[in-house]
């Protein structure tokens, strides 16, 4: 019977019926969402009315309630209809942001992780659809319910735009920036989905990231000199484009509200850029990065999320933007930051001389930790790379390959990080901040670049010699524990003396801080002289401790490398105990 | 190790291989899952991959499916390099994993439609193809059932239908029959035979070894990451038969005395007495078996039957990995 059935099966139609054909057909396929099978999959599954009706109703009811209530209250209090309608725009934008950015990003990462767990992602990997087209399918398809919910708010937006007479160019630029931001968050979700193993973690991480970027960064971090973080959110564009429309003022009000306190153009070295352009550039770069992660992991789930050259380029790009944003301060051009806005540049001597290099060192070190965790190969990858290289007649993997464990590459990361710091310190010195603060350039100014050099190399060796799991153990025991112990000791004696500093500085985190405090240079009150001297002791002890750890890690790595080489170079002895492979049946 | 080359290549020119694997190695850290594997499959070949757990079967299949990056090795499918042209290879291969999942919130036809579209089929051709594949696995009645409502066996059949959508030239089936009922297994065998007749090459990994011998034209035994033996099914079996066999001897009279005598004979490894029947694990070729029979008769024993039994894949597997004789003892077959 089965054989009879088989005769009914039609052969696969020839290539002309196949959409995967190259040329014009491929371009059309890429442009038309309904030709994207992945997108259509989610249209079918996520927009099924029985499941989606709840969300449609929630959106319609909430949006209609907000618009009608606010409009009625305002017009009843005598506000003109145009102004009343405009005032609804920001709440509506927030609602749209919650739908697309928070719920959407969570859906993207959770959906992708679930597909990976179910192994249905492998099915899609095995189709001839290109990684990019698959990526577009997932990017547009996974949050398709949220796009539909957003679409349900469009009548309300139309009401606001028509009654409020909002200029179309303003609408266009705001929603252009809004959607670039949405795509960036969704790309974050895709990247998280390709890397994280549990959907709940991916879901939570994506949502927390959106909240962090939109709330924490503008409110706190960007006020401390890292202003460019603010441009990862939609607030700069809202402040520049929406607030003037809503308030009817051409100038952004100096509200003091950290969310909206983005003033004028973006400082970038000697130039200033439009927030709109800067936002698009910054978010575009991040979209590219997340896209690269997704495509690499799509092609092979065992690849590193970023290649070594890309990670190094990312670090360099980050440094260029980071230094560019604080350049007006360190060169004494003007004060662009709201938190320091009430101070003149002449009053910022010690803040710029001490805090700015320290903030730079910590932020760059943190980024190096993230990037090195991505690009440093595990022992398994090192062995695989060695075997592959030896098989192809090379002594080791090529420098930039994923499986390469090259100190030269880690040295380049270190050089880039430290070079940025040296540029910053040189400008700070040239602008007279050191002289203003200490009367002269501090003799210990070399400590911070040296400390940054050591901790970056130390981080690379930590991942290389111990692997990520053991590295986490070291972070807990060596990075955190000494700090906690010294805090307890200090609380017991109500002082911070040499012993406390020695314990404290065993942690590289504390070592970096102590190396960045030119304590001996600052004129200190007599009461603090003990603490100042302790910081100096701590910096020296930390230097020895980190250097010793580097030596230990180096020895561990060398030993491991020798074992790996021995293992890879003697395949015959390893195979001797096994039966021989049979001849091919050719 | 037996040589399994075609004896008359000039008379029967070998067709272009569908799959060529050379020097394939897969490592997980210091553990080698697949050790310098060489394999060639020609059109129409149904290759059974057998071996104990951890032998490297699934790793091999996942590499061939482009889902696992090997340490090194060359693999080409119908002339396309697996690592250089993965997208071209994806058009040629069909992969069905062990415990194959189905997307839970899609209906069966939607699930198939997704992958038909992914393989570039459009419009009416796509609908017809989906319907044909559903019919092929006898799931036409379940076309509107959601994936989450399918039983284990039905899921296997749906995924098999998905795998057949684009008529792959190389099918990679990892434990395809697990969860299937006997009728579905029979259908699977017929489908694979029909595909092989159409020129596809098929790799079937299975622990149900009798199933492999039913459907496969060639077989490979993996152990410790190595392909210990492979080739056409008949020749591999003959090769094993030539070296070792299980013999059933029917005795008229005192079987114990015969067993005592047999125990002292060269080539006799193990035996079991079951009434008047002796089951014997005997190492030796046809001539040695013939000599044993002659000696039995010459000793004056009344031999009512002397039947060398054909080796199964089980005996082949056990003999290759070192458990052949004990297998005879333990099963008594």
pLDDT, mean of residues A527-533: 64
pLDDT tens digits, B6-15: 444 445 566 7
pLDDT, mean of residues A510-538: 72
Lookup: tokens for B217: 């034209």
Report the b/e string of B303-318 with b at 16+ CB within 10 A: eeebeeeebbbbbbbb
Q: What confidence tier does A281 reach under pLDDT thresholds 50, 70, 90? A: confident
Q: Where are the beta strands (DSSP E) in A3-131?
A: none
Closest CA to A146 of A239, A231, A42: A42
Check B97 against A5: CB less than 8 A apart: no
CA distance A31 to A195: 27
Residue A572 has pLDDT above 50, yes or no: no
Residue A467 has pLDDT above 50, yes or no: yes
Contacts of A35 (CB under 8 A, 6+ apart): A19, A28, A29
Contacts of B213 (CB under 8 A, 6+ apart): B48, B219, B233, B312, B313
Quote the pLDDT of residue B330.
31
The owner of tokens 């906690």 is A484
- Is the sign of the CA dihedral B251, B256, B257, B258 positive or negative? positive
More confident residue, A151 or A265: A151
Phi, psi of B22 (to 5 degrees): -135, 125
Quote the pLDDT of residue A75.
92
| Residues A336 and A237 sit within 8 Å (Cβ to Cβ) | no
Closest CA to A413 of A452, A451, A470, A447: A452
Quote the pLDDT of residue A224.
59
Quote the pLDDT of residue A531.
66
pLDDT, mean of residues A116-122: 86
More confident residue, B206 or A103: A103
Quote the pLDDT of residue B321.
61
* A8–chain B Cβ distance below 8 A for any pair: yes
Where in the sequence of chain B do the CATH 3.40.50.300 domains occur?
19-224
Q: What confidence tier does A529 reach under pLDDT thresholds 50, 70, 90? A: low
Quote the pLDDT of residue B180.
77
Quote the pLDDT of residue A267.
75
pLDDT, mean of residues B97-111: 90
pLDDT, mean of residues B248-268: 87
- Percent of chain B scoring above 70 in pLDDT: 84
Residue A15 has pLDDT above 80, yes or no: no
Nearest by CB: B28 against A18, A303, A380: A380
Phi, psi of A2 (to 5 degrees): -65, -40
Identify the residue among A9, A397, A567 best suited for mutation to test binding to B, counting B beta carbons within 10 A and taking the highest. Answer: A9
Check B27 against A12: CB less than 8 A apart: no
| Residues A60 and A154 sit within 8 Å (Cβ to Cβ) | no
Quote the pLDDT of residue B5.
43
CA distance B219 to B234: 9
Q: What confidence tier does A582 reach under pLDDT thresholds 50, 70, 90? A: very low
pLDDT tens digits, A167-181: 998 899 899 889 988
Nearest by CB: A127 against B35, B115, B187: B115
> In terms of CA atoms, which chain A residue is nearest residue B39?
A584
What 3-state class would DSSP assign to A63?
helix
Closest CA to B258 of B281, B270, B276: B276
CA distance B266 to B76: 47
Quote the pLDDT of residue A249.
57
Quote the pLDDT of residue B189.
86
Residue A480 has pLDDT above 90, yes or no: yes
CATH fold of B19-224 = Rossmann fold (3.40.50)
Among A69-78, A573-582, B171-180, name the most confident range: A69-78
Closest CA to A442 of A453, A429, A454: A429
Instruction: Provide the angle, in degrees to the nearest 10, between the axes of the packed helices A37-46 and B108-118.
Output: 160
Q: What confidence tier does A65 reach under pLDDT thresholds 50, 70, 90? A: very high
- Percent of chain B scoring above 90 in pLDDT: 30
Quote the pLDDT of residue A18.
44
Check A120 against B120: CB less than 8 A apart: no
pLDDT, mean of residues A302-322: 92
More confident residue, B246 or A369: A369
- Percent of chain A scoring above 70 in pLDDT: 81
Where in the sequence of chain B do the CATH 3.30.70.980 domains occur?
239-331
Instruction: A291-295: list long-range contacts, CB under 8 Å, 24+ apart.
Output: A291/A135, A291/A187, A291/A190, A293/A191, A293/A194, A293/A195, A294/A135, A294/A187, A294/A190, A294/A191, A294/A194, A295/A131, A295/A132, A295/A135
Lowest mean pLDDT among A175-184, A431-440, A491-500, A520-529: A520-529
* Average pLDDT value over all residues in chain B: 82
Q: What confidence tier does B238 reach under pLDDT thresholds 50, 70, 90? A: low
pLDDT, mean of residues B258-281: 84
Which residues face B20 on adjacent strands? B40, B76
Q: What confidence tier does A274 reach under pLDDT thresholds 50, 70, 90? A: confident
- Percent of chain A scoring above 90 in pLDDT: 37
Q: What confidence tier does B331 reach under pLDDT thresholds 50, 70, 90? A: very low
Quote the pLDDT of residue A68.
94
DSSP 8-state secondary structure symbol assigned to residue A522: S
Check A9 against B228: CB less than 8 A apart: no
Quote the pLDDT of residue B327.
35
Residue A86 has pLDDT above 60, yes or no: yes
Among A226-230, A316-320, A491-495, name the most confident range: A316-320
DSSP 8-state secondary structure symbol assigned to residue A62: H
CA distance B89 to B91: 5
Bridging pattern class, strands B72-77 and B19-28: antiparallel
Closest CA to B71 of A385, A390, A570: A385
Nearest by CB: A579 against B36, B38, B228: B228
CA distance A57 to A63: 10
Among A199-203, A310-314, A332-336, B21-25, name the most confident range: A310-314
Instruction: Tell me the chain B residues in contact with residue A380 when contact means C-beta distances shorter than 8 Å.
Output: 27-29
Lowest mean pLDDT among A253-257, B67-71, B234-238: A253-257
Quote the pLDDT of residue A155.
96
* B34–chain A Cβ distance below 8 A for any pair: no
pLDDT tens digits, B145-189: 999 999 888 898 899 999 999 989 999 998 887 777 888 888 888
| Residues A503 and A479 sit within 8 Å (Cβ to Cβ) | no
| Residues A182 and A104 sit within 8 Å (Cβ to Cβ) | yes
* A579–chain B Cβ distance below 8 A for any pair: yes
Run of H or E including B34: strand B31-41
Check B90 against A119: CB less than 8 A apart: no
Among residues 285-304 of chain A, which lie with CB inside 8 Å of chain B?
299-303
* Average pLDDT value over all residues in chain A: 81
Phi, psi of A424 (to 5 degrees): -60, -45
> CB count, 10 Å around CB of A92?
18
pLDDT, mean of residues A410-421: 95
Q: What confidence tier does B29 reach under pLDDT thresholds 50, 70, 90? A: confident
Whether the predicted interface score ipTM is above 0.90:
no
Among residues 208-247 of chain B, which lie with CB inside 8 Å of chain A?
218, 223-232
Quote the pLDDT of residue B88.
87
Contacts of B82 (CB under 8 A, 6+ apart): B63, B64, B66, B75, B76, B89
- Nearest Cα of chain A lies from the Cα of B290 at a distance, in angstroms, of 29
The CATH number given to B239-331 is: 3.30.70.980
Tell if the pTM clears 0.80, that is, is over it: no
pLDDT tens digits, A326-378: 888 888 776 665 545 555 666 667 777 888 899 899 999 999 999 999 999 98
């Amino acid at each position: 019977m089965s054989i009879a059935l088989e005769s009914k099966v039609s052969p696969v139609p020839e290539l002309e019926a196949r959409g995967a054909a190259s040329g014009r057909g491929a371009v059309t396929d890429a442009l038309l969402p309904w030709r994207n099978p992945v997108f259509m999959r989610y249209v079918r599954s996520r927009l099924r009315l029985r499941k989606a009706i709840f969300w449609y109703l929630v959106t319609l009811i909430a949006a209609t309630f907000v618009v009608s209530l606010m409009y009625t209250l305002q017009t009843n209090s005598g506000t003109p209809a145009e102004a009343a309608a405009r005032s609804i725009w920001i709440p509506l934008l927030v609602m749209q942001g919650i739908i697309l950015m928070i719920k959407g990003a969570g859906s993207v990462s959770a959906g992708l992780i679930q597909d990976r767990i179910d192994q249905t992602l492998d099915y899609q990997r095995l189709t001839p659809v290109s990684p990019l087209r698959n990526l577009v399918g997932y990017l547009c398809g996974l949050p398709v319910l949220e796009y539909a919910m957003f679409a349900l708010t469009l009548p309300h937006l139309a009401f606001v735009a028509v009654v409020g007479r909002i200029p179309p160019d303003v609408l266009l630029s705001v929603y252009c920036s809004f959607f670039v931001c949405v795509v960036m968050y969704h790309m974050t979700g895709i990247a998280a989905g390709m890397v994280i193993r549990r959907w709940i973690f991916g879901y939570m991480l994506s949502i927390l990231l959106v909240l962090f970027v939109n709330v924490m960064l503008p409110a706190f971090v960007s006020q401390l000199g890292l202003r460019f973080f603010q441009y990862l959110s939609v607030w700069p564009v809202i402040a520049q484009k929406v607030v003037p429309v809503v308030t009817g003022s051409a100038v952004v009000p100096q509200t003091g509200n950290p969310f909206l306190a983005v003033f004028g153009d973006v400082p970038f070295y000697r130039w200033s850029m439009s927030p709109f352009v800067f936002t698009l550039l910054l978010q575009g770069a991040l979209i590219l990065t997340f896209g690269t992660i997704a495509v690499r992991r799509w092609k092979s789930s065992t690849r590193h999320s970023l290649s070594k050259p890309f990670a190094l380029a990312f670090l360099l790009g980050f440094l260029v933007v980071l230094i560019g944003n604080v350049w007006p301060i360190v060169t004494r051009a003007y004060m662009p930051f709201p938190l320091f806005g009430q101070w003149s540049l002449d009053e910022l001597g010690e803040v710029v001389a001490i805090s700015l290099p320290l903030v730079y060192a910590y932020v760059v070190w943190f980024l190096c930790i993230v990037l090195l965790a991505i690009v440093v190969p595990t022992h398994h990858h090192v062995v695989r790379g060695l075997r592959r290289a030896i098989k192809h007649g090379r002594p080791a993997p090529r420098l930039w390959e994923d499986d390469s464990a090259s100190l030269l590459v880690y040295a380049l990361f270190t050089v880039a990080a430290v070079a940025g710091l040296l540029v910053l310190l040189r400008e700070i010195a040239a602008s007279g901040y050191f002289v203003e603060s200490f009367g002269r350039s501090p003799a210990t100014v070399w400590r911070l670049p040296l400390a940054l050099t050591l901790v970056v190399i130390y981080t690379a060796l930590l991942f290389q010699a111990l692997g990520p799991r053991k590295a986490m153990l070291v972070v807990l025991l060596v990075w955190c524990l000494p700090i906690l112990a010294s805090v307890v000791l200090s609380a017991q004696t109500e002082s911070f003396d040499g012993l406390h500093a020695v314990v404290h500085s065993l942690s590289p985190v504390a070592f970096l801080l102590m190396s960045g405090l030119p304590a001996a240079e600052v004129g200190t009150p007599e009461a603090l002289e003990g603490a100042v001297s302790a910081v100096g002791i701590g910096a020296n002890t930390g230097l020895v401790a980190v250097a010793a750890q580097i030596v230990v890690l180096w020895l561990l790595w060398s030993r491991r490398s020798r074992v790996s080489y021995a293992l890879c170079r003697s395949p015959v002895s390893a195979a001797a105990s096994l039966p021989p492979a049979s001849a091919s049946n050719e | 190790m037996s040589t399994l080359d075609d004896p008359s290549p000039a008379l029967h020119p070998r067709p272009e291989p569908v799959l060529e694997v050379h020097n394939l190695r897969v490592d997980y850290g210091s553990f080698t899952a697949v050790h310098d594997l060489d394999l060639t499959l020609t059109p129409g070949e149904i290759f059974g991959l057998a071996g104990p757990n951890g032998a490297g079967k699934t790793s091999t299949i996942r590499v061939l499916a482009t889902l696992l990056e090997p340490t090194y090795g060359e693999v080409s499918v119908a002339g396309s390099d697996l690592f250089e042209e993965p997208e071209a290879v994806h058009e040629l291969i069909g992969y069905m994993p062990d415990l194959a999942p189905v997307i839970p919130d899609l209906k069966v036809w939607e699930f198939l439609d997704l992958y038909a579209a992914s393989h570039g089929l459009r419009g009416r051709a796509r609908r017809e193809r989906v319907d044909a594949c559903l019919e092929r696995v006898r799931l036409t009645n379940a076309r509107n059932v959601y994936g989450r409502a399918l039983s284990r066996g039905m899921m296997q059949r749906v995924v098999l239908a998905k795998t057949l959508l684009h008529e792959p030239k190389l099918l990679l089936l990892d434990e395809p029959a697990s969860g299937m009922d006997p009728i579905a297994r029979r259908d699977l065998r017929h489908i694979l035979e029909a595909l092989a007749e159409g020129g596809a090459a098929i790799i079937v990994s299975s622990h149900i070894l009798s199933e492999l011998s039913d459907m496969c034209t060639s077989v490979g035994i993996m152990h410790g990451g190595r392909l210990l033996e492979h080739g056409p099914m008949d020749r591999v079996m003959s090769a094993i038969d030539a070296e070792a066999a299980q013999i059933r001897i029917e005795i008229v009279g005192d079987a114990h005395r015969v067993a005592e005598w047999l125990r002292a004979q060269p080539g006799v490894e193990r035996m079991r007495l079951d009434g008047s029947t002796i089951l014997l694990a005997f190492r030796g070729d046809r001539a040695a078996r013939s000599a044993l029979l002659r000696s039995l008769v010459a000793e004056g024993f009344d031999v009512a039957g002397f039947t060398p039994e054909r080796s199964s894949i089980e005996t082949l597997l056990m003999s290759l990995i070192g458990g052949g004789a004990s297998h005879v003892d333990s099963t008594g077959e």
